[in-house]
Structure 1
């Protein structure tokens, strides 16, 4: 069986592509660098991260991008010996405008170097590329209408002004010909995330609708001609949990169709797994996969019937899922970060961290404050389980309270908790807590243990345990065996999509990681010996 979600933790907007026996899924990374995650599988059951292709300044620079902007909804495709990746770099979230720029990069192999981007348009987000059987290529994206009352955190349907279609010229590397609005969406509204495929003379269009919260859906339509008119699926929606509050996989929508080599149909979708009692998805939007069937009416349906996605789905072949380790300890003795780690926004990581300035350590270079949109020294990995423990060992001797470093449960500038090593004028070096519990719009940081507790010189061990909605910090000095709790139990649930201003206010997921900042401008470094992620 396929066990959903197949990509746990923050992995939204899954675009799937099959080349021969190989399947690839590309997912959104928003402000996290490098851009776009691509996972690989040969059986649809076991998936491995193999590439983040947008990795250099000529491809992507997100310094200044607000939270939950950056890379939205990539689409991965393959034709004529090349992989194509189209994506949006969103430069604004709040207010009436989006400033969404769409690009195309290519590569002969997933694992190889990807080209510099070619600009396509800026009329809206969620672009995709369709390769027709006559060799022509078509570019789709939703159109954004700024003349509405829609704004970040409160989307309104009139702003989602239909799906645009225009031909792509691969020789000229530019769009050409007329722009046509081919699909206005269903009455659910908020139409986005278009993907086209062709079967039995029909052009099938799947879109995401209802917003990426609890009313999300995959909507399906078809036409005999690529530019429409498109007729709706008999159920309108192929996949949705919007009318089933008890479904395990909520927020189901935004995905893409794929067939196995022997013609078995599947469809990806994003989903969320809310935690009671507040229905907050602490793992963000994850990737799931559903088995489908074609019926005599030439429409696609879920194999289990209805529209609600299943957790357990029949796999195309009899294969055992690989057992994943429950404890991962990473040492920093290589020249590259461990594969699960990312940082924020900047294409110049040498400015914020180093793996060779001190052998066997990850050195974070104190730059701007935690939550900065420009140059923040934060290296982190996704939270993939509702309950986990993270640990690290830090060597850091601050000279002013403006220098701080530590361990954080992080979502964005409005939603994080951190155990911090810093300096206090009277106590000396201290261990304390910084917390920003989602109080948008002010993003006011609070200090649950005040000035903190004095810490002896030498390396310090820092840890945090997240047990569903609860977070507890711990610390101990080197040589001590007993961990000491620090501060009260904090609300880990605010570090979620729904924390702060709610389900449409932000779109990423929770991370656990190491950070340092130095707002004095002296670039004080902090050294981290290792990092442990353990499922509880």
Structure 2
């Protein structure tokens, strides 16, 4: 059985940076996609596209404190692997809050929101999905109504040490938003000893039920396997050429966690996660063209064309691309005249919500800069630029009472005095090499030091770039004022920020 198709889809990754575990559905000519968000808030970003390549974020499914409590959430926990589906005019989105109540569903008639409060669902595990058996073609994506039954699937651990899991199913009642009836175990892997069968999705294609799962774990052994059945509850028979998307080598690795969608023209595509090695970008969303051979899906090669989207943000408003670490109990920022962050006692490195706003790093090589207006009034007051993987792994380039300080956790890696007044802070990122620099507004950039940040190795999340302020455990009435924030993709010789302002 063929495993590759020699007509790759251009424009990959379609969502660069921290965009893991994608799920997609189509309503008419419109596509909607969601990804995992783990401990970052707002939760479960929602994107819209007309061509599956160019995506625009339209909001988040969980953007209210009442919907999502991430207090004390550990790194790479929180919200795992959502699935979005559309049925009878309503969007249904299922996900799992790890270390919390578990599976839940939220609904909306407009994917831009507002979404409902979560309805918690019974059952163990993670990676939930929904299937609406709406007629002869099931998940064709046309949004048509039907009188078929709906089904909820998820993965659960059987033997964690051995990586053994199984895929289970129960009926889902869309109007009541709850599960009912007996449980069915559908699948435990493509072969004896298979590890980490997860990310299940069910489709109905030409009258046959197709089960697609990931397998092998989310590292370099990640793959996609397929199985078919005549009845939605099984038994399922695996594809003779499993995995249908084998572990990848080359510029994109760790490919898996795929979700299929049919275009209005009858063609099929898959969104899936992948990793570009040699950077801290982690798991991104890629696109693959799907053809069919003897009823089994055939994935085109997953490639990338290095999409670059330079950014200059004056903070007239706060765009949906900015996130906080966990759910903020109070709003600590204002916009309109740049971005102002309140100095609060919370610090990055604690299991709290510090005064940090961040957005994903989208390319391995980029220049990041900002202009900071801030005079610390007391020891411990500090603000500046943040390169953050999680609570435990980050770099902070801060203005303090002693000047500029570059820190990795409590360790000071470099410092330098600077005169009073505004200062520009920048970091030139080349893979894991981070060169930090500073300048007076309109002045010449001066390199402070270079850090080989190989400790910024992603697990489930990836590096975020942002702005940070703290009063280090003491109350403060102070604010840090950032007039702009920029990301460019300049030549290696150009200092950070020169093209920003």
Corresponding residue number in structure 1 for 2:6: none
Shift of 1:164: 1.2
Corresponding residue number in structure 1 for 2:334: 354
Measured in 2, the distance between the counterparts of 1:100 and 1:177 equals: 21
Measured in 2, the distance between the counterparts of 1:347 and 1:419 equals: 23
Q: Indicate whether 1:338 and 2:319 are aligned.
A: yes
Q: Indicate whether 1:181 and 2:185 are aligned.
A: yes
1:239 counterpart SS class: coil
The 5 Å alignment of 1:397-412 reads 397-412=375-390
Measured in 1, the distance between the counterparts of 2:261 and 2:36 equals: 19
1:532 counterpart SS class: strand
Corresponding residue number in structure 1 for 2:424: 461
Q: Indicate whether 1:448 and 2:452 are aligned.
A: no
Corresponding residue number in structure 1 for 2:128: 127
Corresponding residue number in structure 1 for 2:23: 15
The 5 Å alignment of 1:125-524 reads 125-133=126-134, 134-145=147-158, 148=159, 150=161, 156-158=162-164, 160=165, 162-187=166-191, 188-242=194-248, 245=249, 247-275=250-278, 281-295=279-293, 297-302=294-299, 304=300, 309-311=302-304, 325=309, 327-334=310-317, 337-350=318-331, 352-355=332-335, 359-423=337-401, 429-436=402-409, 445-449=410-414, 452-478=415-441, 481-487=443-449, 489-497=450-458, 506-523=459-476, 524=478
**Is the CA contact (8 Å cut-off) linking 2:92 and 2:107 kept in structure 1?**
yes
User: C-alpha deviations, 1:89-137, integer Å up to 9, x for none?
Assistant: 112xxxxxxx561110111111231111111135111111110124211
Aligned pair in 2 of structure 1 residues 262, 361: CA closer, same or farther (>3 Å)? closer
Measured in 1, the distance between the counterparts of 2:315 and 2:292 equals: 50
Shift of 1:142: 0.8
Measured in 1, the distance between the counterparts of 2:302 and 2:338 equals: 45
**Is the CA contact (8 Å cut-off) linking 1:139 and 1:166 kept in structure 2?**
yes
Shift of 1:403: 2.3
**Is the CA contact (8 Å cut-off) linking 1:31 and 1:70 kept in structure 2?**
yes
Shift of 1:485: 1.5
User: C-alpha deviations, 1:41-83, integer Å up to 9, x for none?
Assistant: 1122222112212100121111111001111111000000001
User: C-alpha deviations, 1:187-216, integer Å up to 9, x for none?
Assistant: 331111111100122111111111111111
- Scaled by the length of structure 2, the TM-score of the pair is 0.89
Measured in 2, the distance between the counterparts of 1:389 and 1:324 equals: 12
Shift of 1:324: 5.7
**Is the CA contact (8 Å cut-off) linking 1:404 and 1:420 kept in structure 2?**
yes
Query: Unmatched 5+ residue regions in structure 2?
Result: 1-8, 135-146, 491-501
- Comparing 341-350 with 25-34, greater Cα deviation is found at 341-350
Measured in 2, the distance between the counterparts of 1:269 and 1:194 equals: 13
Measured in 1, the distance between the counterparts of 2:328 and 2:87 equals: 29
Q: How many residues align?
A: 467
Measured in 2, the distance between the counterparts of 1:64 and 1:354 equals: 25
Please report the RMSD computed on the Cα atoms of aligned residues, expressed in angstroms. Answer: 2.0
Corresponding residue number in structure 1 for 2:4: none
Shift of 1:397: 2.4
User: C-alpha deviations, 1:230-285, integer Å up to 9, x for none?
Assistant: 1111221122334xx3x22100000111111121111111000002xxxxx41110
**Is the CA contact (8 Å cut-off) linking 2:389 and 2:462 kept in structure 1?**
yes
**Is the CA contact (8 Å cut-off) linking 2:105 and 2:177 kept in structure 1?**
no
User: C-alpha deviations, 1:286-319, integer Å up to 9, x for none?
Assistant: 1111111122x211212x5xxx53447xxxxxxx
**Is the CA contact (8 Å cut-off) linking 1:28 and 1:74 kept in structure 2?**
yes
The 5 Å alignment of 1:516-535 reads 516-523=469-476, 524-535=478-489
Measured in 2, the distance between the counterparts of 1:353 and 1:481 equals: 28
Query: Unmatched 5+ residue regions in structure 1?
Result: 92-98, 151-155, 276-280, 313-320, 424-428, 437-444, 498-505
Shift of 1:25: 1.4
Measured in 2, the distance between the counterparts of 1:115 and 1:380 equals: 26
2:389 counterpart SS class: strand
Measured in 2, the distance between the counterparts of 1:51 and 1:126 equals: 21
